[in-house]
Amino acid sequence: MSVVLESESEKTALLNLYSLEGVGSGTLIRLVERFGSAEAVFRQSEAQHQTVPRIPAVVVSRIRAASPDHSTGAQLFSQAAERGIEIRTYWDTNYPPKLRELETDAPAILFIRGTFEADVRRLAVVGTRSATAYGKRVVRDLVLGIRASGIHIVSGLASGIDGSAHEAALEAGLPTEAVFGCGVDRIYPPANTALANRILAAGGGLISEFPLGATPDRHHFPQRNRVIAGLSQGTLVVEAGARSGALITALLAVEYGREVMAVPGAVTNPKAGGCHSLIKNGAALIETADDILQLLEMPQAMAGKAQSVQVPLELSRPESDLMKVLDATEATHIDAIAQSAGMPVGEALGQLLLLELKGAIKQLPGKYFVRA
């Protein structure tokens, strides 16, 4: 069905729908694709809502109980407009094509401060928050080395490698974008407020799928990482331990068919363990800026190797709890897994991505999971 969400009333209805508990990006995209607009979703009967795959009954009830004047959505729209924050949706013509490739795994709504070009080449640079001088120097050297390419540098504004990537991009005169795990009306970590302001002043952007006022909850960051991976032609990991969240970004890049690259470090450095595991399992070993440029200019060169990336890790307590829920033969949907494990969906998804990274489980289309 053709979807048009250009008017303010449609975006207000979309925000109202998005504000309902249990309505994440995947649910939102399925609903709007099925009924043609956000406003149309609210006009459907209960029977019609139940025809949409993987929409829990409790979510249907919340949609039907929502205020018909879309007051919550109107408030969100007004707050964004007052602060100069752009609201860009999956159905807008200027939505990033690379993200749209993710289909129902894409963020349905992006809140944007600053400038954010849709169709440009991007490199994600991620790694540990506790970077060494070596890691920071490598990031700077590599980013300065690719400055002539004009590629955008994407990261998460975190301390350590993320911040170094943004700093290096600014020094190189490359556009850079920071993807948040909270609303773009707050800077996290606060220590990087000056860096965020420099990104904006240089013509870069701050992006989030989380609404204004959203706090940097722990389970938001795996979701943030998928946006970083999805926006980019390739993901470069510099200094990541065996349990680093940067490995989630690398795994997601593999799932999305993007290039995965890693910088080796000293065998005595525990922060290099994750990078070494990635390289052992097929990620491209990066020593120079030319390695990055060659890989991104020839996207098929490492495709076979990249698809085999796996990192074996020990199971944490939450991961063990989730493994007890999963079946060896029958796939289980994320909503059912989270409910059985007593976790919020976002937290469960983050733990499941770690399990997939370890090779313990497989993800199937539609956010279904099964033991490997």
Could you tell me if residue 328 is inside a domain? yes
Contact at 8 Å (CB) between 345 and 351?
A: no
In this structure, the answer to whether residues 145 and 108 fall within a common structural domain is: no
Beta strand 122-127 with 234-238 is parallel
pLDDT at 247: 92
Residue 312 has pLDDT above 50, yes or no: no
Report the mean per-residue pLDDT for the chain.
Answer: 89
- Number of domains observed in the structure of the chain: 3
In this structure, the answer to whether residues 104 and 133 fall within a common structural domain is: no
Q: Which two tokens stand for residue 151?
A: 């590629």
Split at pLDDT 50, 70, 90, the class of 325 is confident
- Higher pLDDT, residue 301 or 274: 274
Compute CA 134 distance to the chain's CA centroid, rounded to the nearest angstrom: 27
In this structure, the answer to whether residues 161 and 67 fall within a common structural domain is: no
Could you tell me if residue 3 is inside a domain? no
Could you tell me if residue 80 is inside a domain? yes
- Higher pLDDT, residue 324 or 23: 23
In this structure, the answer to whether residues 106 and 53 fall within a common structural domain is: yes
| End residue of a domain, out of 94, 113, 132 | 113
From the list 67, 266, 245, the residue with the least C-alpha distance to 156 is 245
In this structure, the answer to whether residues 36 and 138 fall within a common structural domain is: no
pLDDT at 258: 95
Cβ-based neighbour number of residue 265 at 10 Å: 21
- Of 131-140, 243-252, 297-306, 341-350, where does the model show the most confidence? 131-140
Residue 176 has pLDDT above 50, yes or no: yes
Q: Which residues contact 154 (CB under 8 A, 6 or more apart)?
A: 122, 123, 124, 125, 176, 177, 178, 179, 228, 231, 232
| End residue of a domain, out of 57, 92, 113 | 113
Could you tell me if residue 157 is inside a domain? yes
Q: What is the DSSP string of 208-235?
A: ESSPTT----TTHHHHHHHHHHHH-SEE
CATH number, domain of 282, equals 3.40.50.450
Contact at 8 Å (CB) between 153 and 228?
A: no
Reduced to 3 states (helix: H, G, I; strand: E, B; else coil), residue 255 is: helix
Spatial distance between the Cα atoms of 328 and 77, rounded to a whole number of angstroms: 45
Spatial distance between the Cα atoms of 111 and 57, rounded to a whole number of angstroms: 29
In this structure, the answer to whether residues 95 and 60 fall within a common structural domain is: yes
Reduced to 3 states (helix: H, G, I; strand: E, B; else coil), residue 181 is: coil
* Mean of pLDDT values over 176-187: 98
Spatial distance between the Cα atoms of 278 and 73, rounded to a whole number of angstroms: 42
- Higher pLDDT, residue 337 or 174: 174
Could you tell me if residue 67 is inside a domain? yes
Question: Any idea which of 81-90, 92-101, 263-272, 297-306 has the lowest mean pLDDT?
Answer: 297-306
Helix, strand, coil distribution of the chain in percent, nearest 5: 45, 15, 40
Could you tell me if residue 262 is inside a domain? yes
Could you tell me if residue 41 is inside a domain? yes
Q: Which residues contact 333 (CB under 8 A, 6 or more apart)?
A: 54, 366, 367, 368
Spatial distance between the Cα atoms of 288 and 21, rounded to a whole number of angstroms: 46
Contact at 8 Å (CB) between 220 and 251?
A: no
Exposure string (b/e) for 27-49, b if CB count within 10 Å is 16 or more?
bbbbbbbbbebbbbbbebeeeeb
pLDDT at 150: 94
| End residue of a domain, out of 283, 306, 329 | 306
Please give the model's pTM, rounded to 2 decimal places.
Answer: 0.80
In this structure, the answer to whether residues 266 and 297 fall within a common structural domain is: yes
* Mean of pLDDT values over 198-227: 96
Spatial distance between the Cα atoms of 203 and 197, rounded to a whole number of angstroms: 10
In this structure, the answer to whether residues 160 and 225 fall within a common structural domain is: yes
In this structure, the answer to whether residues 124 and 108 fall within a common structural domain is: no
In this structure, the answer to whether residues 160 and 179 fall within a common structural domain is: yes
From the list 196, 198, 10, 201, the residue with the least C-alpha distance to 87 is 10
In this structure, the answer to whether residues 167 and 288 fall within a common structural domain is: yes
Boundaries of domain holding 171: 120-306
Helix (H) or strand (E) holding 87: strand 86-89
Q: Which residues contact 29 (CB under 8 A, 6 or more apart)?
A: 90, 103, 104, 106, 108
Residue 191 has pLDDT above 50, yes or no: yes
Residue 327 has pLDDT above 80, yes or no: no
178 pairs with which residues across the strands? Answer: 155, 206
CATH number, domain of 359, equals 1.10.10.10
Could you tell me if residue 155 is inside a domain? yes
In this structure, the answer to whether residues 125 and 206 fall within a common structural domain is: yes
- Higher pLDDT, residue 321 or 141: 141
Q: Which residues contact 130 (CB under 8 A, 6 or more apart)?
A: 159, 160, 271
